[in-house]
Structure 1
Amino acid sequence: MTGSAPWPPALPPALSHAELLLFQHLVEAETGIHLSTAKNALVANRLSRRLRELGLTSFAAYHAYVTARGNEAEKVRMLDSLCTHETSFFREPRHFELLRDPILPEWAAQGAKGQRPRSLRVWSAGCSTGEEPYSLAMTLLEAFPRGSGWNVEVVATDLSTWAVQRAAQGLWSQERARTIPTPLLRKYMLKGVRSQEGLMTAGPELRAVMRFDRANLHVPSTWPQGTFDLIFCRNVLIYFGAEARVRVIQGLLERLPATGYFFLGHAESLIGITAAARSVSANVYAPRPGPATLSRE
């Protein structure tokens, strides 16, 4: 028809309260994350595209599709869609200042005296698109550069497969560099040219110490093996239900030696949750000797 215009894409169906509860129960059972009823618009917005792609006309139908036997891949895709990926390089700078002084110098002195192994393992639990673990890697390599005799490993995990893949790629817009201190930016990042103009990528020194994998904090069997000197689990547990939060915290603290440190986000605290850790700075904890005492309050 001459002069005709295409029909606008179909509007997404409304997400009813009953449908929201279906996804609320599913997500909490799978991940420990609690979707409040205030998340109705967010859930509808993030899942509606998949409904259109599958030709489904209701969120209840999509829930049935996700939970069908043998459809684990779609379940992972759904969880990816609902994950939040807000992050930046050197977010909450005081945490990195605490690492630079006094934590890392103290460990360096202990290593020089043979009082601790000359190795460091760090876990960024909830790494999003990688800005946090790469910030940790830059901080650690400044204190323990290659050739210093120290072995540094940064393990980065996230529930979102998409986020882990992006983090492992180590490629960002140069606009993301604004929060990286200039000396570290010049030393550890590479500036894109020609087809990569406007982008930056992690340099080889950073990539050499990084390891990425998908992990569901609600399922300890998916966690990386071994213990860690530092665990960063910042701005993650605020999304968890109370019981799941307690279990995760207990498990994470068990992965730290007595000399390790546990970092939470600025809005998170262990007050009233556990007596198994002592506060060493705002939102930073160290394991407390003795049996763990946890509360679900």
Structure 2
Amino acid sequence: MARDLVLTERDLNRVRTLIHQRAGIVLAEHKREMIYSRLSKRLRHYGMTRFADYLEYLERHPQSDEWQAFTNALTTNLTAFFREAHHFPLLAEHVRQRTGRIRVWSSAASTGEEPWSIAMTLADTLGGAAANRFEVIATDIDTDALDSAQRGVYDVEQVGRLDDDLVRRHFLRGRGQQQGLARIQPELAARVQFEPLNLLAPKWPLKGRFDAIFCRNIMIYFDKPTQQKILERFVPFLQPDGLLFAGHSENFAWLSNSYRLRGKTVYQLAKP
């Protein structure tokens, strides 16, 4: 297929190296079409016709906001409300008998379906006045996705796949110009805090420990050394009996001695 932008093998390798350095993401060689498609908009934004010129611009401007646009473009955001549904009853069971403040971290929040699902689970489990004693911290490296998550607005068709009672409790249906859309209820929205965060950053802007950390379907984009490093960095952020939720195709048990398998893709800290 004819292309109007020039992407050489050298350019392709530079893209793969830069996104790995920046975000830990490993892009296979066969991702050429994806790279071309996603970054072509950035080249056209600058009136460029060669990927080499775009990459040179990035490397000459290490503090440029374009690095974030580059990262956003190459980040995959595949998510859904209550994806991997078996995790949420386990979360509910875990927090039901707990006292004090409940804190959960969604470390790859994407467009928000995961942290909102966590928040709905906590609100329904704790109930009443107790529903105000939890908070969800939602982070992601993709600032565009995070902006969408924070707005909390979704197509009614997407929300319509959920249980009717749950939708009535936690969503407002749009009217007029907002017809066909649904927004998260303000009371629930107040319990979720969104922050940009790169899991490869030298320091995470987080304080305290969490009762649960969701790190699902993001590790598959990292190489094994990066996976191990992140798992070890999670340890001081988990309560001693806290839960770590993984994606369906991720297996953390053999990557780190710090965790033991609690259930299907759910881990707890190993006892010393």
Question: How far does residue 144 in structure 1 lie from its aligned partner after superposition?
Answer: 1.7
Question: Where in structure 2 are there 5+ consecutive unaligned residues?
Answer: none
CA contact (8 A) 1:124 1:133 kept: yes
> Alignment length, in residue pairs?
271
CA distance in 2, matches of 1:245, 1:67: 26
Post-superposition Cα deviations, 1:244-287, rounded to whole Å, max 9, x if no partner, equal 11111111122101110000000001132011111111110001
Post-superposition Cα deviations, 1:55-94, rounded to whole Å, max 9, x if no partner, equal 1121111111112235430000110111111111000110
CA contact (8 A) 2:96 2:126 kept: no
Q: Which residue of 2 aligns with 1:26?
A: 18
Question: How far does residue 129 in structure 1 lie from its aligned partner after superposition?
Answer: 0.5
Query: Considering only aligned residues, what root-mean-square deviation do their CA atoms show, in Å?
Result: 1.6
CA distance in 1, matches of 2:31, 2:219: 17
2:104 counterpart SS class = strand
1:81 alignment partner, one of 73, 79, 82: 73
Question: How far does residue 289 in structure 1 lie from its aligned partner after superposition?
Answer: 2.4
Question: How far does residue 50 in structure 1 lie from its aligned partner after superposition?
Answer: 1.2
Whether 1:127 aligns to 2:78 is: no
| Equivalent AA in structure 1 for residue 198 of structure 2 | N
CA contact (8 A) 1:280 1:286 kept: yes
Whether 1:236 aligns to 2:218 is: yes
1:171 alignment partner, one of 139, 153, 173: 153
Whether 1:185 aligns to 2:162 is: no
2:146 counterpart SS class = helix
Q: Which residue of 2 aligns with 1:63?
A: 55
2:7 counterpart SS class = coil
CA contact (8 A) 1:67 1:75 kept: no
CA contact (8 A) 1:190 1:203 kept: yes
CA distance in 2, matches of 1:223, 1:246: 20
Judging changes above 3 Å, is the alpha-carbon distance between structure 1 residues 222 and 103 closer, same or farther for their aligned structure 2 residues? closer
TM-score (normalizing by structure 1): 0.87
CA distance in 2, matches of 1:225, 1:144: 23
| Equivalent AA in structure 2 for residue 106 of structure 1 | Q
CA distance in 2, matches of 1:63, 1:197: 42
Larger radius of gyration: 1
Whether 1:214 aligns to 2:196 is: yes
| Equivalent AA in structure 2 for residue 273 of structure 1 | L
Post-superposition Cα deviations, 1:39-59, rounded to whole Å, max 9, x if no partner, equal 111011000111112111211
Moved more, 45-54 or 215-224: 215-224
| Equivalent AA in structure 2 for residue 104 of structure 1 | V
Q: Which residue of 2 aligns with 1:103?
A: 94
TM-score (normalizing by structure 2): 0.95
Question: How far does residue 14 in structure 1 lie from its aligned partner after superposition?
Answer: 4.1
CA contact (8 A) 2:104 2:135 kept: yes
2:18 counterpart SS class = helix
CA distance in 1, matches of 2:43, 2:264: 43
| Equivalent AA in structure 2 for residue 38 of structure 1 | H
CA contact (8 A) 1:12 1:48 kept: no
Judging changes above 3 Å, is the alpha-carbon distance between structure 1 residues 126 and 149 closer, same or farther for their aligned structure 2 residues? closer
